Amino acid sequence: MYILDTNTLIYFFKGVGNVADNLLAVSPKDIGIPAVVLYELEYGIARSTSPKKRTKQLEELCALVEVLVFGSEAAKTSATIRASLEKKGTPIGPYDVMIAGTVLSKQGILVTNEVISKLRKPVNFLA
């Protein structure tokens, strides 16, 4: 399953790069959005100058793909990631830890424009 990071979805909604073409080439059943990413997008919409447009885009997408809950397995995986990165002196933000935990607990592939960890190789859909 391809699991989308916040920046990937922002690029998708804004038509940046080849994100839309690449995402549309994948079956919606093979795409997931972590609940944490949904939160970040909803927060962005709350601050947006065009909230109606962005809300419609997000609702249409969420009707097609799976929104991945942050459950006990994701929480445990996230805690392990956070502890490991802190021991190495390379902590990342709490939302990124939760996204990474969700991806790994689902054995998914993170689709992002950032490299937030070397736990899995992210897929850059901008290329």
pLDDT tens for the chain, residues 1 to 127? 999 999 999 999 998 888 888 888 999 999 999 999 999 999 999 998 889 999 999 999 999 999 999 999 999 999 999 998 888 888 888 999 999 999 999 999 999 876 544 444 444 433 3
Per the DSSP assignment, residues forming a β-bridge with 4 are 111
CATH of the domain at 15: 3.40.50.1010
- pLDDT for position 9: 94
For 14, the token pair is: 């804004």
Residue 51 makes CB contacts below 8 A (sequence gap 6+) with: 45
- pLDDT for position 122: 45
Cα separation of 53 and 67, whole Å? 20
Cα separation of 2 and 18, whole Å? 16
Is 66 domain-assigned? yes
- pLDDT for position 114: 65
Is 122 domain-assigned? no
Is 118 domain-assigned? no
Query: How many distinct structural domains can be found in the chain?
Result: 1
Domain that holds residue 8: 2-111
